[in-house]
Amino acid sequence: MLAVIFSSLHFPLGVSELYKWPGLNEPLIYLSAGHVRSFCILGARLVKENRNAIITIIVAPNLLSKAQTEILAELGDESFEAAWRRIRCVKHIHSKWPQMLMAYILRVLSSFQSNSQSIFVLTPLAIETYSAVYKALSRAESVSCAVTGVKYDAISAPNVVILSYFAYRQMLATRAISGHKVPIVSWLTGHASAMIRAHGPEYMGGHGNLGAKIDAEAARRGVTPKEIGDTIYNRTDGTVIKIPGIPDMYDWEYFPQVLPFETAMSDFIKEGYGGLKECDAVFTTSTYAFEEQSLNAVKSWISKWNKEVYVIGPLLPSGYGKMVDNRGTGEIKEFMDKMLAERGRKSISFGTIFWPIVQAYIEEIIEALIEKDFPFLLAYASPFATVSDDQVQKINQSGLGLISKWFPQQFILGHPATGWFLTHCGQNGVIESLGCGIPMICWPFETDQPAAAAHLTHNLKVAFELIEVRTGEKGLKPIFRTGRKAKGTREAVGVEIREIIDSCRSEQGDMIRKNAEGIREKFSKTWEADGAGRREFLSFLTNYNVKLA
């Protein structure tokens, strides 16, 4: 019997970025559906393929409907009624799904009541209430929803717990109840090179135990770790960072943009390091077809901690990249179909959570796309995005662009009209783009993005990178591999984007597209009968004596 708990509930609550808006005293939480998506795909795949698998997926309230959509899409047109009985989505606020789905299919419950959006309120409550819920599940007891009072029947006790690697506190709570009888697996959604940089040994280009360094420095200065944590994380001196599988980079190249918000990145890194040390094994949703050398380095490093790393990605929907996603409707589909009929595979899609502090750079790129007759979709989902009324009017009048707060990214990437994807190079966007064979134009900001952009352009040759859009003191410093410096002007951005548009339409662009399509073919095989992702997942089950039937 395979009984699994998936959870993205951690510090901060959900797989998230922590943003602090200027002028506000309290941080806000932006929850990312992209990270939860891979949970849902694996969970649905397991119950679809294994009659005795029982899956519990814990997600934040506003991601529940998205989780349902992902699971339904993965289950497809098959008879999934019985499978749904074994997928339970656990949340913290009452679902608005139909009662039939709630009672019969989802097993939805809440471990606490709260309408707050503050990390300072939600995180302690999540940590406090996790133990009670997990204890009931571990005893094969029924559990009740703290909000609705609905009582759910008992199921088999979990024999695997999969937690986001940031969920260090929940790992400790799990360990206090189950000891080492139930394996805890850390779930990594991010580029392997970023894991090395954030947590890996210094000889691999990593920070090592950054939390310990911060604590030691704080003690030396007589201040709190929180006061100096991010200053140490952000400190650069021109050291050349040598990470396996990534071109050599100056340390300042990991900060190519001034961000429009403040983040507590050192807190993330400390929690993540604790999660990696506490777990029994690691799942990464990356794949050898994308970053084999970096993944092998991660395996080598983690093996010194007496843990195995299982490379089970990419966890893309079944058939992804070979058929058009059916979730695009209305205006979006009409626009894409029209551009395909009129111009063929020439459209460019913007995907964004981050947003530049220099609005003029976005405006210049929009003007260049219109001038060059290059159709585009512009999503401005970021809470920091601003698009002027004049720009919206210009886009609408051009007939070449469609602008919205949100677009169904997988639908757009899978549509034959899409030729290029302008991305910040986070793992989800990169993997989804390559899964459809779509080449990229890179605009990295921070975290795993700058190294990924270098890898995509220099090693894999599946992308161009925008350099002139860099901002701030660090962003305007030279790049190690070329010596180039951004000029820091709108004029330079305009020249560069027009050159890149021309390159997209050239033989070089054709070569880059061919490389991306080659990676798509490799991705499509990873979960086939003898695919690398499936093999490593089955290896995990064997090593931990977990039976599928």
Omega before 444 cis (within 30°)? no
Q: Quote the CA–CA distance of 479 and 461 in Å, as a whole number.
A: 18
Q: Is the pLDDT of residue 190 over 50?
A: yes
d(CA 109, CA 95): 9
Comparing CA positions, the residue from 536, 39, 542 lying closest to residue 312 is: 536
Distance of CA 23 to the CA centre of its chain: 28
Residue 18: pLDDT band (50, 70, 90) is: very low
The residue ranking higher by pLDDT, 446 or 435, is 435
Residues 268 and 168: beta-carbon distance below 8 Å: no
How is residue 138 written in tokens?
Answer: 């571990």
163, 159, 167: which is closest to 186 by C-alpha? 163
Q: CB 215: neighbour CB atoms within 10 A?
A: 16
Residue type at 542 in one-letter notation: T
Two structure tokens written together for 465: 């990178």
Query: Hunting for tokens 């949703």 — which residue is that?
Result: 285
Average pLDDT over residues 208-229: 94
pLDDT category at 453 given cuts 50, 70, 90 is very high
**143-144 and 151-152: which strand pairing?**
antiparallel
DSSP 320: B
Looking up tokens 């309290």, which residue turns up? 26
At 195, is the secondary structure helix, strand, or coil?
helix
- pLDDT score at 65: 66
Q: Would you say residue 433 has pLDDT above 70? A: yes
CATH topology of domain 329-524: Rossmann fold (3.40.50)
> Are 425 and 448 within 8 A, CB to CB?
yes
Spatial neighbors of 434 by CB under 8 A, at least 6 apart, are 290, 462, 516, 519, 520, 523
What residue segments make up the domains of the chain, in order of their start?
2-10+25-178, 192-278, 329-524
402, two tokens: 């469609």
In contact, 184 and 171? CB cutoff 8 Å: yes
Measured between alpha carbons, how far is 244 from 61 in angstroms, rounded to an integer? 38
Mean pLDDT for all residues in the chain? 81
Count other Cβ atoms within 10 Å, centred on residue 502: 12
Q: Does residue 314 have a cis bond before it (omega within 30 degrees)? A: yes
Q: Where are the beta strands (DSSP E) in 396-535?
A: 401-404, 418-423, 440-442, 463-465
- Nearest CA-CA partner of 38 in 154, 166, 188: 188
Integer Cα distance of 296 and 299 in angstroms: 5
The pLDDT score that the predictor gives to residue 150 is: 65
**Cβ-proximal residues to 528 (8 Å cutoff; 6+ apart), any chain:** 534
b/e burial code for range 60-75 (CB count within 10 A of at least 16 → b): bbebbebbbebbebbb
Q: Which pLDDT value is given to residue 61?
A: 63
User: Tell me, what's the pLDDT at 389?
Assistant: 82
In this prediction, residues 101-111 reach a mean pLDDT of 40
More confident residue, 222 or 44: 222
Q: What pLDDT does 63 receive?
A: 65
Q: Which amino acid is at 306?
A: N
Tell me what the mean pLDDT of segment 278-302 comes to: 97
Res 114: pLDDT? 59
Per-residue pLDDT tens over the stretch 263-289: 678 888 898 999 999 999 999 999 999
**What is the rounded average pLDDT of the residues 483-499?**
97
**Structure tokens that stand for 364 in this block:** 């210049």
- How many whole angstroms separate alpha carbon 176 and alpha carbon 138? 12
pLDDT over threshold 50, residue 14: no
Other CB atoms closer than 10 Å to residue 303's CB: what's the count?
A: 11
Average pLDDT value for residue range 471-489: 96
pLDDT at 17 over 50: no
Closest CA to 31 of 75, 80, 93, 77: 93
For residue 276, the number of C-alpha atoms closer than 13 Å in the C-beta half-sphere is: 25
Q: Token pair for residue 325?
A: 């996603």
Confidence at residue 380, expressed as pLDDT on a 0 to 100 scale:
74
Alpha-carbon distance of 418 to 255, in angstroms, equals 29
Q: What is the mean pLDDT of residues 318-347?
A: 76
